Amino acid sequence: MTSPDLEPATEPAFEPVLELARERDHHDACRAALARMAEDVAEQVVTGEDVAASGADAEALGYHLRSRAKEFGEQPPGPLFFGRLDREDGQILHIGRRRIAENPATPPLVIDWRAPVSRAYYQAGAHDPQGVVRRRRFGWAPYSQGDSADLTGLEDEYLRSGTGTAGEIVTQEIERPRTGPMRDIAATLQPEQDDLVRSGPAVSLCVQGAPGTGKTAVGLHRAAYLLYTHPQRVRRSGLLVLGPSRTFLSYISEVLPALGESGIRQSTVDEEIARQGVRAVDGEAAALVKHDARMARVLRTALYARVDTAPAVPLTVRDGSYHWRLTADELARIVTAVREEAPPYATGRERVRDRVVRALQLQAERRAGPLGGAWARRIERARPVSAFVDGCWPKVTPEEVLAEVLTDPRDEALTSDEREAIRWARPPRSYRSAKWTAADLVLLDELAGLIERPEGYAHVVVDEAQDLSPMQCRAIARRAAFGSLTVLGDLAQGTTPWAAGGWREQLVHLGKPDAEVVPLTIGYRVPEAIVALANRLLPTLGADVAPAASLRAGGEVTCTAVESLVEGVVEAVAKALTREGAIGVIAAEPMVAPVARALAAIGIEADGRVAVVPATLAKGLEYDHVVVAEPAAIVAAEPRGHHRLYVVLTRAVSRLDLVHSEPLPDCLGGAAA
């Protein structure tokens, strides 16, 4: 696209005020064009209702048009472009979060950041200009709603001559104080992040990302990229984003809509597999056994033990004046053959029925000639056939099988102590009245997948994957059996009892053993001083990960010893409120309520500016200023307490306060005072 008012520059010199005025005018034109696009879509919805077509076609068309109208209506406010490319061929391309054009036949005013031509914005450099003369970045006022007057600065980089400025606006955007939900990073993607984002739909990736490296943002941007480049393939089967908690999902909820994608399922593993409500709690020993990969074998054995591959009596079916008969040996061959094919349990049951009916039909056709489908349907409903199928391959529910396993676990895959750990102390009178635990739901999902294969997704993004148990990984693998995965995590942040020790084994459980593991070790959000403090914990974690590094110099770390922990935390929060940005108070679970009450007593309510968060829910969140209440209590609260403290320390993206009344953990000795 070329413009008479925006000629590509070949010399560094330009008049900033004039250039700003031109770009603001262009933004006004984009805003007007976007409004017309929204009006056109709304008009198409009305017009589409009168289109003559079959009922199904009309319904599909109406759904498509209404979805587009909803998408335009939900478009969040904000600047319409963040960058510009001036190319050697004279084209000027403005890069934004969505395509904007005056009409479909004219060149776009804004190019979608995911379009192939936009890649040069992230990848071009003086070593490889990729046909780009100038790359321009735009500085917008913080929290701009998209008013053209909020365009406050320009930053030009001349790639052929290697002159101009590069990075100041990007740095300001990365370091901008964090308030509210997570923001997208389309304007600040780095080349190595862009490479991951633009991986193809069939590629499964595992991103081992140190704190602040943007691994979560990479996963979400890859989801948006796949929806843009392969819309039919991905939307037909769906795209799923799995996070560790509802708090985390709320935090990332605005990223995909900001990138122009809505209607994507965002869930937790527990929500995705829930068949029953959780009404009981496992002891630690029982939970460890239930999440172990060996339980898959235990459940499969228990389920298929119901199949009788050696029926003792023949099958006789009356058909008018005829009686058709299959011997016990013939029936055994049918059942054994199906069992060896290892189909899902419910499929195997119907396969046995079909083959029995077919064997009977072959007998009948030798005597009476060809028989139609009506005959076969009548025979398959015959009482002797149904009785045989129910006897050799009985219908069953996951709850029924699991109740039998937990009532009397016998499988030798488990030790005697492990069998006793999962055995119900007081078995329910019926599986219908059983009180299931959270770990039981994972086992029920395994059984449900053995009985009937679940519908899958074209792509699944899994965040904090290092905390998943082998059985949880298998639940995800079933949903991505014919799709791909983006696996995100950090082995150093593994806090569950079954946290992964390495990615290769975890990827085997996820069904993608050949997925590439890509490390991200350069942090862009967490500053150097905080990263250095957190790295002191690495020797105690036993995780095979490289120490993180940060491109952000500075950062503030303070350590304050107090007599009253609650009073010390309140004082630290009051001081933090004098500066810009979101504040997170992170503490062990017992301290959360007392701290929240003390803050409320002086008029500081937990809201968008201040959040009081238990350490167990801090994973994935970010705050400009973090106040850590009693680090030693966080370490002591759970077996993997040092891993939890590593997570807590790296939630701060500007300032970190350690407030303690007990001695600090040894690994933090010498923390800043």
pLDDT, one tens digit per residue, over 20-29 is 999 999 999 9
Phi, psi (deg, nearest 5) at residue 641? -65, -30
Cα-based angle 67, 69, 70 (whole degrees, multiple of 5): 65
pLDDT, one tens digit per residue, over 143-166 is 888 899 999 999 999 998 776 665
pLDDT band at 51 (very low <50, low <70, confident <90, very high): low
Phi, psi (deg, nearest 5) at residue 605? -95, 145
Say if residues 530 and 555 touch (Cβ distance below 8 Å). Answer: yes
Exposure string over 95-125, b if 16+ CB within 10 A, otherwise e? bbbbbbbbeeeeebbbbbbbeeebbbbbbbe
Contact residues for 226 (Cβ-Cβ < 8 A; gap 6+): 201, 234, 239, 458, 459
Say if residues 227 and 157 touch (Cβ distance below 8 Å). Answer: no
Tokens of 360: 């009977």
Task: List residues bridging with 556 in a β-sheet.
Answer: 655
What pLDDT, on the 0 to 100 scale, is given for residue 523? 86
Contact residues for 237 (Cβ-Cβ < 8 A; gap 6+): 455, 456, 457, 458, 482, 483
Q: How far apart are CA 338 and CA 341, in angstroms?
A: 5
Q: Which residue has the tokens 């929240």?
A: 596
Identity at 532, one-letter amino acid code:
A
Strand bridging mode 92-96 / 556-561: unpaired
Exposure string over 176-212, b if 16+ CB within 10 A, otherwise e? eebbeebbbbbbbbbebbbebbbbebebbbbbbbbbb
What pLDDT, on the 0 to 100 scale, is given for residue 576? 94
Q: What is the mean pLDDT of residues 604-632?
A: 90
Say if residues 208 and 490 touch (Cβ distance below 8 Å). Answer: yes
Tokens of 226: 């796949």
Contact residues for 247 (Cβ-Cβ < 8 A; gap 6+): 613, 617, 621
Q: Which three-class secondary structure string do you get for 164-197? A: ECCCHHHHHHHHCCCCCCCCCCCCCCCHHHHHHH
pLDDT band at 220 (very low <50, low <70, confident <90, very high): very high
Of the two residues 7 and 341, the one the predictor is more confident about is 341
Task: List residues bridging with 323 in a β-sheet.
Answer: 318
Tokens of 651: 């939630």
Q: What is the mean pLDDT of residues 630-644?
A: 96
What 8-state DSSP symbol labels residue 110?
Answer: B
Tokens of 70: 């909803």
Lowest mean pLDDT across 257-261, 429-433, 572-576: 257-261
Give every strand in the sheet of 652-660, ordered side by side: 556-561, 652-660, 623-629, 583-587, 610-614
Say if residues 627 and 584 touch (Cβ distance below 8 Å). Answer: yes
Cα-based angle 525, 653, 648 (whole degrees, multiple of 5): 115
| Integer CA distances (angstroms), 406 to 402, 465, 631, in order | 6, 28, 39
H or E segment to which residue 541 belongs: helix 538-541
Phi, psi (deg, nearest 5) at residue 148? -60, -30
Q: Which residue has the tokens 């991905």?
A: 234
Say if residues 607 and 646 touch (Cβ distance below 8 Å). Answer: no
Q: What is the mean pLDDT of residues 231-238?
A: 89
SS3 (DSSP) at 508: helix
Strand bridging mode 522-523 / 549-550: parallel
pLDDT band at 9 (very low <50, low <70, confident <90, very high): very low
What pLDDT, on the 0 to 100 scale, is given for residue 4? 44
Q: How far apart are CA 119 and CA 117, in angstroms?
A: 6
pLDDT, one tens digit per residue, over 248-303 is 898 888 898 888 787 789 999 999 999 999 999 999 999 999 999 999 999 999 99
pLDDT, one tens digit per residue, over 366-402 is 888 888 889 999 999 999 999 999 999 999 999 999 9
Q: What is the mean pLDDT of residues 522-536?
A: 91
Q: Could you tell me what percent of the chain has a pLDDT over 90? A: 70
Q: Could you tell me what percent of the chain has a pLDDT over 70? A: 90
What pLDDT, on the 0 to 100 scale, is given for residue 53? 54
Name the burial class of residue 595, with classes exposed (0-12), middle (13-18) and buried (19+) by CB atoms within 10 angstroms of its CB. buried
Distance from chain centroid for Cα 409: 35
Q: How far apart are CA 33 and CA 25, in angstroms?
A: 12
Question: Is the predicted pLDDT of residue 50 greater than 60, yes or no?
Answer: no
pTM > 0.85: yes
Strand bridging mode 459-462 / 322-326: unpaired
Of the two residues 477 and 58, the one the predictor is more confident about is 477
Cα-based angle 577, 583, 496 (whole degrees, multiple of 5): 160
Question: Is the predicted pLDDT of residue 326 greater than 80, yes or no?
Answer: yes
How many Cα neighbours within 13 Å face the side chain of 494? 24
Taken in order 246, 248, 254, 256, is the CA torsion positive or negative?
A: negative
SS3 (DSSP) at 325: strand
pLDDT band at 67 (very low <50, low <70, confident <90, very high): low
Say if residues 261 and 237 touch (Cβ distance below 8 Å). Answer: no
Task: List residues bridging with 207 in a β-sheet.
Answer: 488, 518
Helices (H) and strands (E) in the chain, counts: 27, 21
| Integer CA distances (angstroms), 534 to 18, 68, 634, 666, in order | 47, 46, 14, 13
pLDDT band at 142 (very low <50, low <70, confident <90, very high): confident
Q: How many CB atoms lie within 10 A of CB 231?
A: 11
Gyration radius from the chain CA atoms = 31
What 8-state DSSP symbol labels residue 529?
Answer: H
What pLDDT, on the 0 to 100 scale, is given for residue 350? 96
Say if residues 2 and 88 touch (Cβ distance below 8 Å). Answer: no
What is the DSSP secondary-structure string of 378-423?
A: HHHTSHHHHHHHHHHS----HHHHHHHHHHS---TTS-HHHHHHHS
Name the burial class of residue 332, with classes exposed (0-12), middle (13-18) and buried (19+) by CB atoms within 10 angstroms of its CB. middle
Nearest of 244, 243, 127, 193 to residue 521 by alpha carbon: 193
Tokens of 136: 């321009």
H or E segment to which residue 648 belongs: helix 641-649
